Structure 1
Amino acid sequence: MTPACAQDDLQTTPTRLTLQVTADPPGERCRRLETSDAAPLGSVSLHRTFHDDFDTHPLVNGKWVPHYAGGAAWPEARYWGGDGSDFKRKTSYNGEQQIYVDPRYGGRSITPLGLDPFKIQDGILSIVASRTPAALKTLLFDNEYVSGILTTQSSFAQKYGYFEIRAKIPVGTGVWPAFWMLANDGGWPPEIDVMEGRGGRPGDLVMTTHWRIPATGKVESCGFDFRVPDAPGQFHDYGVLWAPDRLVYFIDRKPVTDARVPVGFEDPMYMIVNLAMGSKFFGGVGVVDAETPVTVAFEIDRISAYQIDP
Structure 2
Amino acid sequence: MIGCLATLAPAFAQENLTTAPLRLSLLVTSDLLGDQCRRIDTPDAPPLAPLSLHRTFHDDFDEHPLSSGKWETHYTGRVELPEADYAGGEGSELERKSKYNGEQQIYVDPRYRGMASTPLGLDPFIVRNGILSIVASRTPPTLKALLFNNEYVSGILTTQKSFSQKYGYFEIRAKIPLGVGVWPAFWLLANDGGWPPEIDAMEGRGQRPGDIVMTTHWRVPVTGFVQDCGMDFSVANAWMDFHDYGALWQRDRVVYYIDRKPVLDIKAPAGFGDPMYMIVNLAMGAKRFGGVGFVDAKSPDVVEFQIDRVSAYQIDSY
TM range (shorter): over 0.9
Q: Is the contact between residue 170 and residue 297 of structure 1 (CA under 8 Å) also seen in structure 2?
A: yes
The answer to whether structure 1 residue 227 and structure 2 residue 203 are counterparts is no
Post-superposition shift, 1:306? 0.1
1:181 paired residue number: 188
The answer to whether structure 1 residue 15 and structure 2 residue 13 are counterparts is no
Q: Would you identify which runs of 4 or more consecutive aligned residues in structure 1 move more than 6 Å?
A: none
Post-superposition shift, 1:78? 3.2
2:313 paired residue number: 306
Equivalent residue runs for 1:40-59 within 5 Å: 40-59=47-66
SS for the counterpart of 2:142 is helix
Instruction: Show CA shifts across 1:132-163 (max 9, x none).
Output: 00000000000000000000000000000000
1:102 paired residue number: 109
2:145 paired residue number: 138
Kindly provide the amino acid, as one letter, of the partner of residue 250 in structure 1. Answer: Y
Q: CA RMSD in A?
A: 1.2
2:85 paired residue number: 78
The answer to whether structure 1 residue 39 and structure 2 residue 46 are counterparts is yes
Q: Is the contact between residue 3 and residue 20 of structure 1 (CA under 8 Å) also seen in structure 2?
A: no
Equivalent residue runs for 1:282-297 within 5 Å: 282-297=289-304
SS for the counterpart of 1:93 is coil
SS for the counterpart of 2:282 is strand
Instruction: Show CA shifts across 1:249-302 (max 9, x none).
Output: 000000000011000001000000000000011000000000000000000000
Rounded to whole Å, the distance in 2 between the matches of 1:132 and 1:215 is: 44
Instruction: Show CA shifts across 1:84-132 (max 9, x none).
Output: 2101000011100000000000000010000000000000000000000
Kindly provide the amino acid, as one letter, of the partner of residue 203 in structure 1. Answer: G
Q: Is the contact between residue 174 and residue 242 of structure 2 (CA under 8 Å) also seen in structure 1?
A: yes
**Taking structure 2 as the reference length, what is the TM-score of the superposition?**
0.95
Rounded to whole Å, the distance in 2 between the matches of 1:137 and 1:2 is: 45
Identity of aligned residues (%): 70
User: Number of aligned pairs?
Assistant: 310
Post-superposition shift, 1:71? 1.2
The answer to whether structure 1 residue 3 and structure 2 residue 3 are counterparts is no
**Taking structure 1 as the reference length, what is the TM-score of the superposition?**
0.98
Rounded to whole Å, the distance in 2 between the matches of 1:220 and 1:282 is: 15
Match of 2:282 among 275, 286, 306: 275
Structure 1, unmatched stretches of 5+, are none
Match of 2:36 among 20, 29, 42: 29
Q: Is the contact between residue 208 and residue 291 of structure 2 (CA under 8 Å) also seen in structure 1?
A: yes
Q: 1:43 to 1:106 in 2, by over 3 A?
A: same
Kindly provide the amino acid, as one letter, of the partner of residue 91 in structure 1. Answer: S
Structure 2, unmatched stretches of 5+, are 1-7
